Amino acid sequence: MDRFMQAAIDEARKGYDAGGVPIGSVLVHQGIIIGRGHNQRQQRGSAILHGEMDALENAGRLAAHVYREAVLYTTLSPCAMCSGAILLYGIPEIVIGENSTFQGEEALLRQRGVMLTVYDDPQCKALMERFIVERPEIWYEDIGEPGT
């Protein structure tokens, strides 16, 4: 596992250990992690702090050129909101832990020229599968679905 995806998984595990949705993300610029985060729905009662959004927020205000030279690592395929943030800031490359428990807006991102790599990582999948079984109501709320 590359060290940036490992850092995103570490964030996801922090989220899980705190009772939250286990999705983590890191923003990398010139080989350095400049923002880390994980989903904060349960912990901070947030409707917008998905893992990717939390990493972007924790990176702080950045000049346009930094985003345009950055890579975003995320343990799960980015939803419409997080994909929209990627498009707003022109982040050119996204590395995704897995997309089998949820598939976000990958087609839209590719269509707009974003380079995507999907690892199909068993740790990412196992964490999400476990959470979806344990706390389905939080998971469906997180993706705006009425649930089961």
Residues 48/128/141/15 CA torsion (nearest 10 deg): -50
Taking the least distance from each CB to a second copy, the nearer of 34 and 118 is 34
Closest CA to 142 of 132, 134, 133: 132
User: Has 52 been annotated as catalytic?
Assistant: yes
Measured CA distances, 126 to 17, 22, 119, 130 (Å)? 14, 10, 13, 6
- Give residues in contact with a second copy (CB under 8 A): 41, 45-48, 53, 56-57, 59-65, 67, 79-85, 87-90, 105, 108, 140-141, 143-147
Q: Which of 11, 52, 98, 105 is catalytic?
A: 52
Strand ranges, E, within the chain: 24-29, 32-38, 70-76, 93-98, 115-118
User: Which residues on neighbouring strands pair with residue 5, listed in sequence order?
Assistant: none
Minimal distance, residue 135 CB to a second copy, in Å: 13
- Integer Cα distance of 66 and 143 in angstroms: 29
Taking the least distance from each CB to a second copy, the nearer of 32 and 63 is 63
Minimal distance, residue 96 CB to a second copy, in Å: 16
Minimal distance, residue 56 CB to a second copy, in Å: 5
Minimal distance, residue 1 CB to a second copy, in Å: 27
Taking the least distance from each CB to a second copy, the nearer of 23 and 59 is 59
C-beta neighbour count of 111 within 10 angstroms: 9
Taking the least distance from each CB to a second copy, the nearer of 12 and 79 is 79
The residues carrying an active-site annotation are: 52
